[in-house]
């Protein structure tokens, strides 16, 4: 047994203007999960401590909270693994959400983004057109099972740095779930779904892999890349900066072997998009003053033909 | 295959013939940005290598690693391009490929993991490399210079080599996502609680500043996708560093450097002025190991680091 100091964020939106913290000491082994420690604290010390929980075994997705500064499921995280040197475990509500009471947050923005992608099958034909259920081959289903493991705990959403600065971004979970329907052979709305998720800023994913901390190993990061590739293959919203950027990067690598910074900026923003170019111009001017502008043209690396052979062999698209 | 020799092939040829140098040799993949807008990173890396007594053999015919963007267009092309780079290293007898960019590290390691773990991927890559007489056997290991400093040089040795300690300069580490995440690809240290940069800062005589932003994203990869997005992410992180007492930032990634150095000015309206100078990892290490400050390209930074160095009696 050890003394575990639970350092808990306390706030009630109904009565408090600012949050405070309470320290609750519990005598439990370090292997105790944070959820069990909270349950113990609530039962034995302070019945007003509020948090969400249901299944206690990483299936329901209710108990995500920030533990030691990183969002995790309280039922899947031991106190010992998140303990500071002084024996305390810092527990906060999930970031990127408005706190409601203690560790309970308003989940609405997260659910709204789910609802927007119409998370149900939309086949093109009537059920009556099929003599049996709609069948899916094991190979086709294999692509979907990982994403289907998502328990909507919002861990990824709360860790996403893009959501933290731009709430319009769909967030990792919604994009991964869009993939689940986009790649479902029974679904008939692939192009509508790709357009919808592109509008919800699919291309704003910053490639940071913060969502690789998924407690169910859904790895939304890889599915986001899959959806972007599907958008390029189906030529959805190709004039947006996201697809333009990806394809001009590919073009400069094929031409020179290198990612040519100058051409990538022009090709993404648009060579004739004067207003857009003016917006990036101040930084360009500051860099120019420091002799830091990338060269306007790059000399291809030696044996660049080999690089072009690779692109051609894979029929990799370029702009 | 082309009969003209690459510079590194000529150099290694001479090296083998004379066996003049006993220093440890590494394959060196500088990446695109260190050859374009962050040349000061390339130059200070070479100066640092000299101080450390190691030889970095640049792979001059290598391609871009794919920069995390190429995967958005095609699932295989980045992996095969990296296989070509590894084949070049293997042909030169260099199994250790050193990078100086977090994004290069993560994406080259991811490609290498796929190649080494999947016969299908390796066969696909070699079928294409075979068209120009190249082949990758799978022997290459990709590491960042930061890892080399700690694993091959060692913190004790590094500390003993310091001739100009940082006089307690308060430096905030900024890792850059792809050197730590995903852990399944990098895994050299904890992605949630890394401390290698802190260890280096302390070894150089500085004080490491802890803050929640150190493992977060700089926004570089989406700076062009929507106006203001990268500057917001930069402002948020630099605010945290500044509020925790940082006087400067150090990063092992030139993409983070471009964002952090470039966007703090734009972020000031929303996050307040931070004006934290940002050092490339090899710049600060090279400085402490005695490389003259004027050779490190500090004048190329948008936020001039020399002011804070003067305040700590590091330069005049």
Residues B110 and B206 in one domain: no
Query: Mind telling me how many Å the CA of B36 is from chain A's nearest CA?
Result: 5
Residue where a domain stops, chosen among B96, B116, B145: B145
Residues B136 and B183 in one domain: no
Contact criterion met (CB < 8 Å) for B216 and A161: yes
The 10s digit of each residue's pLDDT in B221-278 is 999 999 899 999 999 999 999 999 999 999 999 999 999 999 999 999 999 999 999 9
The predicted pLDDT at position B79 comes to: 98
Tokens of B77: 């092309």
Distance CA B139, CA B141 (A): 7
Angle of the A172-182 helix axis to the A138-148 helix axis, nearest 10:
160
Residues B159 and B241 in one domain: yes
The predicted pLDDT at position B1 comes to: 45
Cβ-contact B212, B202 below 8 angstroms: no
Residue B89 lies in a domain: yes
Residue where a domain stops, chosen among B119, B145, B171: B145
**Residue range of the domain that includes A153:** 108-233
Supply the CATH number for residue B105's domain.
Answer: 1.20.1050.140
Residue B1 lies in a domain: no
Distance CA B96, CA B14 (A): 20
Q: Into how many domains does chain A fold?
A: 3
Residue where a domain stops, chosen among A233, A249, A273: A233
Phi, then psi, of A3 in degrees rounded to 5: -85, 120
Contacts of B131 in chain A (CB under 8 A): 309, 313
Query: Is pLDDT above 70 for A66?
Result: yes
Distance CA A17, CA B263 (A): 33
Query: Is pLDDT above 70 for B22?
Result: no
Residues B187 and B92 in one domain: no
Query: Is pLDDT above 60 for B21?
Result: no
Interface mutation target, options A165, A204, A227, chain B, most CBs of B under 10 Å: A165
Angle of the A261-269 helix axis to the A241-256 helix axis, nearest 10:
150
Tokens of A101: 């009471």
Measured at the CA of B209, the angle between CA B208 and CA B210, to 5 degrees, comes to 115
Residue B262 lies in a domain: yes
Residue B297 lies in a domain: yes
The predicted pLDDT at position B10 comes to: 81
Q: Provide the whole-model pTM.
A: 0.95
Residues B35 and B134 in one domain: yes
Residues A151 and A83 in one domain: no
Residue where a domain stops, chosen among B100, B122, B145: B145
Query: Is pLDDT above 70 for B15?
Result: no
Contacts of A203 in chain B (CB under 8 A): 222, 225
Task: Check residues A106 and A130 and name the one with the higher pLDDT.
Answer: A106
Residues A229 and A123 in one domain: yes
Classify residue B19 by its DSSP letter: -
Supply the CATH number for residue A159's domain.
Answer: 1.10.1060.10
Cis peptide before B182 (omega within 30 of 0): yes
Residue A53 lies in a domain: yes
Residues A299 and A258 in one domain: yes
Residues A125 and A222 in one domain: yes
Residue B150 lies in a domain: no
The 10s digit of each residue's pLDDT in A251-294 is 999 999 999 999 999 999 988 888 888 888 888 888 988 988 88
Q: Residue holding tokens 């003209």?
A: B4
Residues A208 and A124 in one domain: yes
**Residue range of the domain that includes B68:** 7-145
Q: Which pLDDT band, with edges at 50, 70 and 90, does B181 fall under?
A: very high
Measured at the CA of B206, the angle between CA B202 and CA B210, to 5 degrees, comes to 75
Residues A280 and A225 in one domain: no
* B26 Cβ contact list (under 8 Å, min separation 6): B54, B55, B56, B57, B94, B96, B97, B98, B148
Residues B47 and B129 in one domain: yes
Residues B141 and B175 in one domain: no
* A222 Cβ contact list (under 8 Å, min separation 6): none
Residue B316 lies in a domain: no
Chain A, nearest residue to B7 by Cα: A302
Residue A319 lies in a domain: no
Residues B169 and B63 in one domain: no
Average pLDDT over residues A147-156: 96
Q: Into how many domains does chain B fold?
A: 2
Average pLDDT for chain A = 95
Residue A318 lies in a domain: no
Supply the CATH number for residue B285's domain.
Answer: 3.40.50.11810
The predicted pLDDT at position A17 comes to: 96
Residue B35 lies in a domain: yes
Query: Is pLDDT above 70 for B17?
Result: no
Residues B237 and B129 in one domain: no
Distance CA A74, CA A52 (A): 10
Residues in chain A: 319
Chain A, nearest residue to B61 by Cα: A302
Residue A136 lies in a domain: yes
Distance CA A268, CA A265 (A): 5
Closest CA to B153 of B203, B92, B78, B214: B203
Residue A199 lies in a domain: yes
Residues B213 and B184 in one domain: yes
Measured at the CA of A90, the angle between CA A84 and CA A95, to 5 degrees, comes to 130
Residues B138 and B198 in one domain: no
Contacts of A260 in chain B (CB under 8 A): 32, 36
B280 sits in which H/E element = strand B278-280
Residues A228 and A280 in one domain: no
Residues A114 and A223 in one domain: yes
């Amino acid at each position: 047994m050890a003394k575990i100091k639970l350092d808990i964020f306390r706030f009630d939106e109904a009565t408090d203007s600012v949050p405070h913290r309470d320290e609750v000491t519990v005598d439990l082994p370090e292997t105790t999960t944070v959820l069990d420690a909270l349950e113990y604290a609530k039962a034995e010390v302070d019945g007003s401590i509020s948090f969400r929980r249901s299944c206690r075994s990483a299936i329901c997705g209710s108990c995500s909270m920030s533990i030691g500064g990183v969002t995790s499921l309280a039922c899947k995280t031991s106190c010992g693994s998140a303990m500071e040197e002084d024996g305390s475990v810092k527990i906060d509500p999930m970031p990127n959400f408005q706190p409601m009471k203690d560790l309970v947050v308003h989940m609405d923005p997260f659910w709204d983004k789910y609802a927007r992608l119409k998370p149900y099958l939309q086949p093109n034909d009537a059920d009556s057109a099929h003599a049996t259920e709609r069948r899916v081959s094991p190979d086709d289903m294999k692509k979907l099972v990982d994403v289907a493991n998502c328990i909507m705990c919002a861990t990824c959403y709360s860790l996403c740095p893009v959501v933290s600065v731009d709430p319009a971004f769909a967030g990792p979970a919604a994009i991964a779930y869009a993939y689940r329907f986009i790649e479902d052979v029974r679904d008939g709305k692939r192009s509508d779904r790709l357009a919808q998720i592109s509008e919800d800023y699919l291309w704003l994913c910053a490639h940071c892999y913060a969502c690789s901390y998924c407690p169910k190993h859904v790895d939304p990061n890889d599915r986001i890349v899959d959806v972007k590739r599907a958008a390029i293959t189906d030529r959805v919203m190709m004039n947006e900066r996201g697809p333009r950027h990806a394809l001009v990067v590919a073009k400069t690598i094929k031409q020179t072997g290198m990612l040519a910074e100058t051409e990538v900026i022009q090709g993404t923003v648009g060579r004739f998009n004067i207003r857009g170019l003016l917006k990036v111009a101040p930084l360009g001017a500051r860099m120019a003053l420091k002799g830091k502008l990338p060269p306007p043209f790059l000399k291809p690396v030696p044996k660049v033909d080999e690089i072009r052979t690779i692109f051609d062999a894979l029929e990799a698209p370029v702009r | 295959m082309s009969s003209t020799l690459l510079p590194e092939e000529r150099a290694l040829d001479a090296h083998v013939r004379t066996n003049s140098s006993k220093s440890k040799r590494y394959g060196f993949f500088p990446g695109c940005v260190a050859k374009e807008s962050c040349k000061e990173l390339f130059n200070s890396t070479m100066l640092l290598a000299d101080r450390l007594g190691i030889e970095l053999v640049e792979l001059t015919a290598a391609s871009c690693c794919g920069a995390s963007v190429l995967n958005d267009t095609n699932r295989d092309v980045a992996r095969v391009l990296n296989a070509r780079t590894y084949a070049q290293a293997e042909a030169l007898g260099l199994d250790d490929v050193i990078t100086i960019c977090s994004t290069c590290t993560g994406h080259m390691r991811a490609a290498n993991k796929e190649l080494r773990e999947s016969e299908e991927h390796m066969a696909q890559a070699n079928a294409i490399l075979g068209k120009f007489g190249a082949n990758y056997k799978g022997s290459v290991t990709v590491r960042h210079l930061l890892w080399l400093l700690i694993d091959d040089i060692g913190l004790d040795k590094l500390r003993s080599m310091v001739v100009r300690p940082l006089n307690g300069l308060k430096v905030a580490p900024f890792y850059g996502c792809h050197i730590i995440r995903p852990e399944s690809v990098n895994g050299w240290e904890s992605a949630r609680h890394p401390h290698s940069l802190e260890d280096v800062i302390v070894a150089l005589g500085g004080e490491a500043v802890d803050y929640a932003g150190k493992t977060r994203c700089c926004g570089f990869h989406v700076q062009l996708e929507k106006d203001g997005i990268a500057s917001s992410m930069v402002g948020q992180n630099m605010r945290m560093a500044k509020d925790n007492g940082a006087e400067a930032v150090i990063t092992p990634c030139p993409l983070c450097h471009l964002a952090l150095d470039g966007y703090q000015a734009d972020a000031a309206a929303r996050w307040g002025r931070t004006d934290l100078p940002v050092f490339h990892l090899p710049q600060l290490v090279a400085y402490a190991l005695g490389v003259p400050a004027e050779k490190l390209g500090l004048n190329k930074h948008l936020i001039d680091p020399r002011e804070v160095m003067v305040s700590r009696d590091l330069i005049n």
